[in-house]
């Protein structure tokens, strides 16, 4: 490992990796050594397209197999955006080869898979982290201050999140997320992971005492062995009378809303996963007041807009760039932080409990 630069490899040519190509470029402590695909031509085409858009000083290398990239002595960390059905094998191989592992979500098809990945990373002394970008936004620091001030929100009561997009027909009939071998968790794994993670973050990672899940819609592309969730909702019950609900869908137009409600006010984000294009990440605190004067009923709006200076779209200050910068710092520091694996495992456990509840028709389930 170079003393100050984390040398990255991208294992796979998924669309999300194009965004993170730029994030690595802008991180300041990382460089991209190569991209691997099952085809040398596909890897080279991917590199040529991205390099033309935003180039690295030294053009990344094309790897014609995942095995060759994992074995490369010139790579310190692997970003793994492979389909969920393939992640366990390659995350474990990467860890066993001494590579730090940044894994897209969901990290496994079930809890046992993620536990295997985490054991492999621990045994090899490498860093593990999942690819939840909003965890690295400075906006969360300001939200935490508001939640903790005792006045803006007060005692916490309710968390609601919604994350969805209305997929076109070609997605529903052809995308890998519609194949149960590759992405068995469908919209719950692709989108619901964010809902659950935000909820757990608000709760300082306290786990719910029970959850319920509802499979609202499911479908699949023709080659899929079974249908995958395309619309899903869940309810989480925590101690201290806090509850949370979430909704995720491939069938409802773009929305990424989060509301945190307490006894004195509420906090609202309209872009909790992917900040709207611009140079700040914002949210609103609302402390509406109701009063009555004989026959007159008054509901008064008291909104306070909060924002942090943070660009979107892989800018050097963007949350996705912070993700790669923060991971690079951990890799370069030489001492893995196990908290990131613990957070991912909690997210996976809640998600799988929701899946089991939905399978049983919405029965309340403990999170084991």
User: Comparing C-alpha atoms, which of 30, 34, 27 is closest to residue 9?
Assistant: 34
pLDDT at 2: 56
User: Comparing C-alpha atoms, which of 129, 143, 252, 273 is closest to residue 196?
Assistant: 273
pLDDT at 1: 54
- Assess contact for 215 and 362: CB atoms under 8 A: no
Strands 296-300 and 289-293 come out as antiparallel
Report pTM. Answer: 0.96
- Assess contact for 266 and 260: CB atoms under 8 A: yes
pLDDT at 14: 81
- Assess contact for 330 and 322: CB atoms under 8 A: no
Per-residue model confidence as pLDDT tens for the chain (368 residues): 556 999 999 999 888 888 899 999 999 999 999 999 999 999 999 999 999 999 999 999 999 999 999 999 999 999 999 999 999 999 999 999 999 999 999 999 999 999 999 999 999 999 999 999 999 999 999 999 999 999 999 999 999 999 999 999 999 999 999 999 999 999 999 999 999 999 999 999 999 999 999 999 999 999 999 999 999 999 999 999 999 999 999 999 999 999 999 999 999 999 999 999 999 999 999 998 898 889 989 889 899 999 999 998 889 999 999 999 999 999 999 999 999 999 999 999 999 999 999 999 999 999 98
What domains are there in the chain, each with its CATH number?
A: 6-134 (3.40.50.720), 138-318+347-359 (3.30.360.10)
pLDDT at 53: 93
211 dihedral zone (left: phi>0; alpha: psi -120 to 50; beta):
beta
User: Comparing C-alpha atoms, which of 195, 188, 170 is closest to residue 227?
Assistant: 188
User: Comparing C-alpha atoms, which of 96, 97, 95 is closest to residue 129?
Assistant: 95
- Assess contact for 114 and 348: CB atoms under 8 A: yes
pLDDT at 288: 87
139 dihedral zone (left: phi>0; alpha: psi -120 to 50; beta):
alpha
Contacts of 153 (CB under 8 A, 6+ apart): 146, 147, 260, 261, 262, 264, 265, 266, 267, 285
Residue corresponding to tokens 């979430």:
246
Residue 70 tokens read as 């994992």
């Amino acid at each position: 490992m170079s003393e100050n630069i984390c040398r990255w490899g991208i294992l796979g040519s998924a669309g999300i990796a194009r965004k993170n190509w730029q994030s690595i470029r802008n991180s300041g402590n990382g460089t991209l050594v190569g991209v691997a695909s099952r085809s040398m031509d596909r890897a080279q085409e991917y590199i040529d397209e991205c390099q033309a858009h935003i180039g690295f000083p030294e053009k990344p290398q094309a790897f014609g197999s995942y095995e060759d990239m994992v074995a490369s002595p010139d790579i310190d960390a692997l970003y793994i955006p492979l389909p969920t059905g393939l992640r366990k094998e390659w995350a474990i191989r990467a860890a066993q080869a001494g590579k730090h592992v940044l894994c897209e979500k969901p990290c496994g098809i079930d809890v046992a898979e993620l536990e295997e990945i985490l054991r492999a990373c621990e045994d090899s002394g490498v860093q593990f982290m999942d690819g939840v970008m909003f965890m690295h936004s400075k906006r969360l620091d300001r939200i935490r201050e508001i939640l903790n001030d005792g006045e803006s929100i007060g005692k916490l009561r309710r968390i609601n999140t919604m994350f969805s997009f209305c997929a076109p027909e070609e997605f529903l009939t052809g995308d890998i997320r519609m194949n149960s071998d590759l992405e068995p968790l469908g919209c719950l794994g692709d989108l619901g992971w964010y809902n659950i993670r935000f909820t757990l973050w608000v709760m300082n990672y306290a786990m719910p005492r029970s959850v319920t899940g509802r499979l609202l819609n499911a479908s699949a592309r023709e080659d899929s062995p079974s249908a995958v969730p395309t619309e899903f909702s869940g309810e989480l019950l925590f101690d201290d009378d806090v509850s949370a609900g979430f909704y995720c869908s491939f069938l409802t137009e773009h929305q990424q809303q989060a509301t945190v409600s307490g006894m004195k006010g509420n906090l609202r984000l309209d872009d909790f996963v992917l900040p709207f294009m611009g140079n700040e990440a914002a949210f609103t605190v609302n402390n509406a007041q109701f009063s009555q004067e004989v026959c007159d009923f008054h509901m008064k709006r008291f909104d306070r807009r909060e924002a942090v200076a943070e660009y979107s779209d892989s800018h050097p200050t963007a949350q996705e760039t912070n993700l790669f910068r923060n991971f690079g710092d951990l890799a370069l520091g030489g001492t893995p932080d196990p908290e990131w694996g613990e957070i991912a495992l909690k997210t996976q456990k809640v998600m799988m409990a929701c899946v089991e509840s939905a399978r049983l028709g919405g029965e309340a389930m403990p999170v084991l």
